[in-house]
Structures are given as structure tokens and as C-alpha cells.
Amino acid sequence: MGDQGTQEMASRKVLLTYTPKRRWDDCLEYSAYLRSHTAHDIFKLDGEVPETIMSSKTANISQFCEISWYKWVKFCFSTLSFPEDLLVLGKYLGQSIDVGHAMTAKILNHQQAR
């Protein structure tokens, strides 16, 4: 039932960042995605990352190098009207998979946190 390393990684991130229980599933998804894009000491992988073995393409880890789980980020919130600042604070929840370009992220804004 899942990878124990992924569960341990998610547990550490949740505890260290005081992530609310509602967001634990997002952290588990983030940890699984991160783990699938990094190398492990597994003989069958022959030094490759799991994502590269499955897709035959070099895994892109750039989204993990910029921001880590549940850190504050400033992002452009395009639905705000003119007098208000388009840049607002939010919490980073990981990469948005299959939505937008490669660096599209899931961000929890102040309205969703309530």
C-alpha cells in the first residue's frame, strides 16, 4: 500500500511545516512526485530515476529546485480588479500535473486557507 519512503517524506514535511490536515493528501502527492524524479539506491534502476525508466525521457526536476513544500510564494492573481495589487501571497502545494506549462504550480491563496 504505497511506498514507505514516500510516506516518511510526507510525514516529515507535514510536521515541519505545520501543514493543515486538509492538505496532507497534497503533500503525499508532492512527495511521491518528488521521489519518482530523484535517484535511489535500487539495483534495477541502474542509477536512473524511476520517471526516466518509465518515460524514456530525462526527468525534469526544475520545479523542485525553486520552492519546497508549503513555503510562502508571491504569485499573480489575475482575477483581482485594477486598484488592488495583482501579486498576492500564497502557500506552495507542488507542481500542477497535466495543467498548463511545465512550471505551473498549485498554490493555496489566502481565501482558500479559511
pLDDT digits (tens, 9 = 90+) for 30-89: 998 888 888 777 787 788 888 888 888 887 777 777 888 999 988 877 766 666 667 888
- Grid-cell match 526516466, residue found: 52
Query: What type of residue is 35?
Result: R
pTM across the whole model: 0.76
The number of CA neighbours under 13 Å toward the Cβ of 9 is: 19
